Structure 1
């Protein structure tokens, strides 16, 4: 027992919480599931049994009555008086015909009283144009009436027929498919829709259901116990094809549950429909237990939630708060604690991580500053000997031709250039000063190359002038264009500088019309600019870092990885370098 207790104390807090949760919730879940399953099964069994019993009872009763009426029609269709009247009428006197019709009327009345479902019994003699009714008596009739009745014979796919809104058992002698040819007689029993409805209402008084009686496979005639009959969906095809009259099927439609019994002999369907909310009524007796279980569950959940809050949520919140403070730049954040569990270990590791992170940030920051200063000094020291030599040689040539004014302009530009390059007091300058320095260098080169080089410089928006950037950023890019593109042109050289601002950045485009740039060289330059700082350092560990890569890295150190240089082919045909700087407008 002591060994188990010791092991349990050393278990992870997550395991403890999972075990506690299972032990608390599992009994409640089991009890709720057991009660719900038992009540639902019991209710469904009782409801199904009750509805099936009602349907079987009424089906047997209705089937008996329909078979008896069908038998009466068949029996009296062979009655001597009814079957021979049309053929003997020609040799009978008027009195004999009238007497025979009265006798037939008496027989029809006897048939009518044999079943409460019979509303009338009719007998047509087309040759005499007579109609005998148990209700209306004897009267003359037009051919159209018996023809309309005859055409409906068997239209419900069985012995029953419907004409208008009435159901009939019809029998004609002789049977003839040509409805325009008059038979000897037509005998029909008309069913009482009112009596059928009343019986359905009596059947549906208990159970809270609606009983619907539909005749025909397409439900041509529907009689319901309710004035607002429940919509009953058409039975599935697999049920329609069955020949078992006693089979009860169950299906859902909208919010109702339907029990249907199909009689194939007389082609009628008896359906009991009950609303689902009525079905849930027997569950009322279980609601008290469910409410008690719910209240117990709520209390347990509240206790468990409070335990979770104390054990997990509260210490996690302290840890999350510490991370958020660190994300905001508070690198001296500490989480005081005296815990001995997993959170105590996390707090200790967090505090140690913050201390180490603070040291690394300071070391990295100092290293970057020193790297940036060293790169700037290195770049400032890169006053190429051939540039100085070429400048002095140009002054010598201008002196030989005594071009004093051009010498004065050239030396003035040269003095401004060297004064800017050798100034160490500032590591950052305004964009306006940097552009001015780059244009001074471009003017020196333009004087050297004369008409071979043209400058196309877009006027800078005054709002861009005050943007602070590292020193010597623009001039190396202009120098690169002159050294690798424009100096090789014998004529037609063009250097273009333009500005474009969008969203949160300013793009400075410096492009030339050089014809020496290959696709491979452009791809290598783009790959170098897209590489990370570490990859670039490794790649250039044993070779001199180019001016473009130097400028790109200094911009990223200053503004972040989203800024720096990008390279593409210029619309002029040469190289286009894009300087991306942060800019948020006025």
Structure 2
């Protein structure tokens, strides 16, 4: 269960394209794996069938050759007891010349009949040492030197079986009498000479390809060899290793680095039939299967790559454009539009996105204009409220100074009062420079200092010169100072302090207005923070601080406005944040 949850945690955050690609790979991979398994199984099956076919073919030729040799052996044995052949050698002393010639002709006919019984017989010879005659199925009757029949007689059985080798030819020999020693001349010698060329032709029919080598070796030590190649060198090591070890009639297999060997040994006739087939010939069909498998894997990889490119082009790229559009809209760029000529579903989404952003942009502009107008109306309403009240207090202060006949103070106070009302009644522009706002706030502060006298004092920090030209909403700082006198220092009998400081960094200017009033409670501070945090305008009575906060947010965005906290002096600290980056210059 935990493993499943872990997989879900890893899998769920992935993009749709990643999931689609993973799903495609999960579909293709089992197909490729199944193809690999099927191909491997087919290759192994084919390899087994090829080996079995080679063994079967070799065994067939072995059986055929064994049958022919046994039949020829039986044939020479049978004819060695033939009445004509056996009696002629003993009756020659009493036969006339005509009878001899006639009998030799009959023997020649019999020998020709023997030769025609098998394609492996190249000649049949009949020797009569007593009269020095030789009858050949192919050469007829002729005189023969003694060394020829003596050589044949001496070679009998030299291949450890019925076969004999003489002058590079294979013979099946029978003498009469059979148990005669090799020195005393026999009555007759009958021999069948096998055709090495015909045996080689039949071996070549078995060869799988021109590179295959088939060897027919006679004798327990392979004394006489017939090979489809010129030398049969590729089989010498195999013949030495396998000598006398192969069970009769069974196929022995051996593989070297270059060849597959198949061999059958006949213990009766003492011959071995061995085939060497190059690995390439045996494995060629399997290699074709392997090549198809590699081609399948390559094609699968190509399909995955092409599908990935197609997915990226048709799905991922359009989705990325749409996501970028939403991110720009999220950052406040409501004028963003996606230009594309697509006619598919993404084209429809782009059109709907563009229409949505146009509509949203219109709504935001209308709302922005409406809120600015509302703020201006609120400002004018506040001005209309402040001015009569402030005018009443100012006139009352002039009256008191007149009673004291303090003409100089009246002149100074009247001058400040004139500057104040001249600035407040200038409605043509909705913005002013920060320097002008500071001068206006200091005029208001000077008026209040005259009114409050020794009950309070102020400390004003210097403003950075490059910040004086920043354009800000009109009547920005004066309401903050007014708030200090109304709620912070208004009830203080003496020792009041108002501090105005400027803090500048790379991105913003923070103006701190703080006092040492004693009437601020934690509940009032929380309420003030909640009012400033409200963005829907439902904040009850419109105050000067709220009006300033909203107008700053309208002009400079979410990073601007007012923040409040308790001052280290004990009273309220209002921080006015104004961005100073290039985008706000």
Could you state the TM-score of these two structures normalised by the residue count of structure 1? 0.50
Could you state the TM-score of these two structures normalised by the residue count of structure 2? 0.50
Larger Rg: 2
